[in-house]
């Protein structure tokens, strides 16, 4: 399941790279959020135009279809860094120390392997769309920009996974209880406290 996670920081090179890379991930996530924001205005204009003037926005469905790639994929690396992806913690939650970090390391290595395969396949998909001039059905909107977003976002995710592999391998080697640059799973009490702070605005 998805839970609340903390990413610790220090003055090591790994942590500095983690924080620097997080800026890029945050920027991409912001762009994805702006796309959603613009889609809200587009949907509103489409509904009002159809209602008041019987004049909907031409190619509305085409624009929505292309925009989906942006807000679906641009935040994927950000979510991975924050530990926000859906996962099952029933077994992992009972493991501690080096065994936990080794389990997480194996998991992230497998994720990286799958991600690299997806990057290759999505890049070929983009190239095919670009070379044949693929376009949408209604207003002939080029589809290659949206298809390019997928391998780019997955490449950003792949680099995030490399940083996390570094972090988990470092934790396995040192046996640290609080490794940096990786999401640490918090217990139910810490999750409740964090949610209470986010609602009340109190920061300790």
Convert the pLDDT of each residue in 13-26 to its tens digit.
999 999 999 999 99
Residue whose C-alpha is closest to residue 167's, from 8, 20, 1, 29: 8
* pLDDT tens readout for residues 144-196: 999 999 999 999 999 999 999 999 999 999 988 889 999 987 665 665 666 66
How many residues appear in the chain?
Answer: 204
Q: Are 103 and 90 in contact (CB under 8 A)?
A: no
Phi and psi based region of residue 186 (left: phi greater than 0; alpha: psi -120 to 50; beta: remaining): beta
Rounded Cα distance, 74 and 80, in Å: 12
pTM score = 0.88
Please report, for residues 20, 101, 108, the alpha-carbon distance to residue 164 in angstroms, rounded to integers and kept in the order given.
14, 11, 7
* pLDDT tens readout for residues 102-136: 999 999 999 999 999 999 999 999 999 999 999 99
């Amino acid at each position: 399941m998805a839970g609340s996670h903390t990413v610790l920081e220090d003055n090591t090179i790994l942590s500095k790279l983690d924080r620097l890379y997080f800026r890029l991930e945050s920027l991409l996530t912001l762009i994805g959020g702006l796309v959603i924001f613009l889609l809200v205005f587009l949907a509103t204009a489409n509904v009002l135009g159809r209602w008041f003037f019987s004049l909907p926005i031409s190619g509305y469905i085409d624009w929505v279809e292309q925009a989906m790639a942006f807000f679906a994929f641009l935040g994927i690396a950000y979510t991975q860094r924050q530990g926000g992806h859906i996962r099952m913690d029933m077994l992992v939650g009972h493991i501690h120390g080096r065994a936990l970090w080794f389990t997480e390391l194996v998991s992230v290595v497998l994720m990286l392997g799958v991600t690299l395969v997806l990057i290759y396949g999505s890049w070929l998909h983009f190239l095919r769309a670009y070379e044949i001039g693929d376009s949408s059905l209604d207003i002939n909107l080029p589809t290659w920009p949206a298809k390019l977003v997928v391998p780019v976002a997955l490449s950003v995710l792949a680099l995030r996974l490399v940083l996390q592999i570094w972090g988990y391998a470092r934790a396995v080697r040192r046996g640290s209880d609080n490794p940096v640059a990786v999401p640490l799973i918090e217990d139910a009490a810490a999750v409740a406290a964090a949610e209470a702070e986010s609602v009340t605005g109190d920061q300790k």
